[in-house]
Amino acid sequence: APVIRLEDYRPPAWLVDTVEMDVRLDPARTEILTRLAIRPNPAGGGGPLRLDGEDLELVWLKLDGRRLAAGDYRLDESGLSIASMPDTAAVLEIATAVDPSANTRLMGLYRSNGIYCTQCEAEGFRRITFYPDRPDVLAVFTVRLEADKVAAPVLLANGNPVESGDIAGTGRHYAVWHDPHPKPCYLFAMVAGDLGRVGDTFVTASGRTVDLGIYVERGKEDRCGYAMDALKRSMRWDETAFGREYDLDVFNIVAVSDFNMGAMENKGLNIFNDKYVLASPETATDADYANIEAIIAHEYFHNWTGNRITCRDWFQLCLKEGLTVFRDQEFSADMRSRPVERIADVRTLKAHQFVEDAGPLAHPVRPESYREINNFYTATVYEKGAEVIRMLKVLIGDAAFRAGMDLYFARHDGEAATIEDFLACFAETSGRDLTQFKLWYSQSGTPEVTATGRWDASTSSYELTLEQSCPPTPGQPVKQPMVIPIRFGLIGSGGDMQPAVVEGDGVTGDLIELRAARQRIVFRGLAERPVPSLLRGFSAPVKLTTNLDDDDLLFAAARDSDPFNRWQALQSVATRLLTDAQAAIRAGGAPAADARFLASLRRTAESADLDPAFRAQALHLPTQADIARDIGREVDPAAIHAAEDWLRGLIGASLADTLRALYGGLALNAPYTPDAAAAGRRALRNAALSLLSATGDAADIEMAERHFRNADNMTDRLAGLQILVRAGAEAAEAALAAFHDRYRDDPLVLDKWFTIQATAPGEATLGRVIELMRHPAFALSNPNRVRALIGAFASGNPAQFNRPDGAGYRLLGEVATQIDRSNPQLAARLLSAFRSWRVLEPVRRAAARAELERIASLDGLSRDTSDIVRRSLE
Ligand code: HT7
Ligand code: ZN
């Protein structure tokens, strides 16, 4: 596949003003008549017309009413060209036909459980009709849909409903939808089927009433309440936090069960993976509720950041995705606990983006080239993209940030914009030069910051030397220094201390702007030696190393006024302990306990003045991936796993009385509610139970079994099941069977059952995964099932996926290459589990390489999969 480069961007030769579509839905042969009003781009366009098209049957083509003959145009596997075009505006009519039932890629028009639906981002519209399928061609769409009235009583498309009716004597009916807002075709959507509807209304700040609808498979209407509530809260929040009002008469959400990603922000007609809509206490965990809230908000927020202002080209993907993740994170922080949300977001960032940035798939937040754009919907574009926006806000301040957003909305509404357009708004409102800041968009890799502090009692001063560097990443051997905002405080025995004088560049209030490779700051006039608290709130996505010892960190864990850094300090000590422990285990020795850490953890767990959700985060140890990243080379996942088991067991035994008291004291004697306060109590209680049972103590395992059996909600039931399976308890099999029997007809809940088994420790897991692939509820055609079993095994069970015999790699390779034939996007995503293979110890590294090379040698690989495999091997 050719490489597409940002530097080659050229404006479109032809613009499209209006699109009128007439779609005659049929399961095997859907006909689409499209009428395009086109004109040469006044900015030097015109000439030959090129339209994208993929897997389409061209029925006929008319230009200005004249049917074109075969010689008038050229068809090839990626589209259609008309060499001789008029030099004025023209009307092009195209009739295409597609087979939605045969569309297993889930891109374009396909069927999910009998429902017709579409997915057009990034390049799916070309699988519906021939079109300039690029985000900088914006047009006003009118869509007429018709279908069998019994099979598809519901007919939906973007925009507002215009008219509907029966087609006499045919058993069919139709509906016309008009979207007045010009949009790129990737935001096009239509849905038809026999769907249940849950309705509500929302009155906007200016008093307009919007009809809200959530459409789901019949019988699931009673699981839409939380999604609807989250939608209304999102609409209100965007008005108050960003001054953004909704702009159509209706807003519809449809939940489908076959979907490649989480959801899609099509204008006025969001389409969701049903996992992120459907929830009831009986079927959804607290984490599911939080995800639903965040994703409903994310897709809704795209209405302004993505839809009203879209991307000029796919290199600018972070313009909409990074910004919208930032917005949904802020929303969740306002709805829940800000520090706890920040901790959760940073955990996700480190677990996915830091890992990606450290491996062969590393790329800048704004990539400069790609072969397959679907492979760039990554943690870097989304999560690091959000961090870049957050840094911008920290650097220029809240007022200039809000003014910059207002200016961006005013200046670029209705346009397809670039990162340069976006940054220019903030440069203007802040009066700052953002040239160096822009490096965050072009340099890949996680910057490393080293902070070395020195207390000089004779002068009562504290000297802080900050150094930054960034490791080489693919195509970028050498990096320039970035602007790194470091929020800080100096902690003294009585709390935060104020120095009398600060010497050195780049310090304003509680913010250090690290711009140079090395910067020295001296704080004078301090009453005592401070413990510096750096990178408060994780003010920049960097890897920070300090010369603070464990005593300093544990002091910070107890005294830092920044809750994020309190949590981070404990995590840093735990990371050191686990890293040392895995080294000891590899060397055949025994890990060493640390009484000070255990005492500090106990204090945090017992601190009644701290939010239970925060305390639960403190009890969650760094993940195995965190430790692998800390080690950085010659990684042995089995040793890391053993170290984790050891530390969990040690905590469970040493803090048993505290953990039992927490478990007993936090029971909620009230019906389940998904709010943050109740979820926080459950999280802390389940974390306590999980650590207790890590000792293998029979009484604690029995307690976990009772917890499972008596649970009145999915959060507790699943936590109990997970604890039993993880502990390898005798009761685990019976619990798994009971869970299965209870939810045998509920695929979304069975996904949890698949995942628990796929992430179970022990060598038997691989065989179990293979066996579960034959379970009647499992299907390679359904992305949720595949991710729940195969994805969970490959990404959520490092010790078993990375078996030294390579069997885990072979399983993933075989399944992914099989899926590649039907759904390349899903296959490529699964294979990104290989992204850290180079840091493994030699035996595993060789086995992983062998599997990647085997896959690379196969004929007929999709562009998605060959791109991932090739970059992984480079
Ligand atoms: N903007 C959406 C991305 C998306 C997508 C991309 C490629 C293939 C399928 C897809 N489904 C959804 C989702 C979002 O970020 O909001
Ligand atoms: Zn998005």
- Nearest alpha carbon, ligand 1 atom 1: 264
CA quadruple 552, 558, 560, 561: dihedral, nearest 10: -170
**310-442 classified as CATH 1.10.1020.10:** no
Looking at residue 1, its pLDDT comes to: 87
Ligand 1 atom closest to the Cα of residue 382 is 15
Give the end-to-end CA distance of the chain in Å, rounded to a whole number.
16
Name the superfamily (CATH) of residues 14-193: tricorn interacting facor f3 domain (2.60.40.1730)
Ligand 1 atom closest to the Cα of residue 265 is 16
Query: Where are the domains positioned within the chain?
Result: 14-193, 310-442, 448-540, 765-874
Spatial distance between the Cα atoms of 735 and 731, rounded to a whole number of angstroms? 6
Dihedral sign, CA of 362, 310, 189, 11?
negative
From the candidates 299, 356, 383, 387, which is the catalytic residue?
299
| Ligand 1 lined by 328 (C-beta under 6 Å) | no
Q: Residue 408, CB half-sphere, CA atoms under 13 Å: how many?
A: 31
Residue in the structure block whose two tokens are 């959700």: 613
Note whether 14-193 and 310-442 share their fold.
no
Ligand 1 atom closest to the Cα of residue 299 is 16
Measured from the Cβ of residue 671, the count of other Cβ atoms closer than 10 Å reads 9
Looking at residue 727, its pLDDT comes to: 97
Ligand nearest to the Cα of 305, by number: 2
Q: Crossing angle, helix 398-412 and helix 419-430, to 10 degrees?
A: 130
Looking at residue 47, its pLDDT comes to: 98
Query: Which of 853, 761, 843 lies closest to 798, judged by CA?
Result: 761
| Ligand 1 lined by 579 (C-beta under 6 Å) | no
As a residue count, the chain comes to 874
Ligand 1 centroid to residue 261 C-alpha, Å: 6
Looking at residue 315, its pLDDT comes to: 99
- Nearest alpha carbon, ligand 1 atom 13: 264
Ligand 2 centroid to residue 389 C-alpha, Å: 15
Ligand 1 atom closest to the Cα of residue 377 is 6
Q: Is pTM beyond 0.90 here?
A: yes
**448-540 classified as CATH 2.60.40.1840:** yes
The tens digit of pLDDT for each residue in 791-848 reads 999 999 999 999 999 999 999 999 999 999 999 999 999 999 999 999 999 999 999 9
Ligand nearest to the Cα of 186, by number: 1
Classify residue 3 as exposed, middle or buried by CB count within 10 Å of its CB (0-12, 13-18, 19+): exposed
| Ligand 1 lined by 374 (C-beta under 6 Å) | yes
The parts of the chain modelled with pLDDT lower than 50 are none
Ligand 1 centroid to residue 835 C-alpha, Å: 21
Classify residue 483 as exposed, middle or buried by CB count within 10 Å of its CB (0-12, 13-18, 19+): buried
Q: How far is C-alpha 641 from the chain's CA centre?
A: 26
Beta carbons within 8 Å of 226's beta carbon, 6+ residues apart: 279, 284, 289, 292, 293, 674
Which of the listed residues 117, 120, 121 should we mutate to test ligand 1's pocket, taking the one with most ligand atoms within 8 A of CB?
121
Looking at residue 145, its pLDDT comes to: 98
Dihedral sign, CA of 707, 710, 711, 717?
positive
| Ligand 1 lined by 122 (C-beta under 6 Å) | yes
Active site residue 299: yes
**Do residues 769 and 753 make contact, with C-beta atoms less than 8 angstroms apart?**
no
* DSSP category for residue 579: H
Ligand nearest to the Cα of 322, by number: 2
Please report the ipTM that was assigned to this predicted complex: 0.98
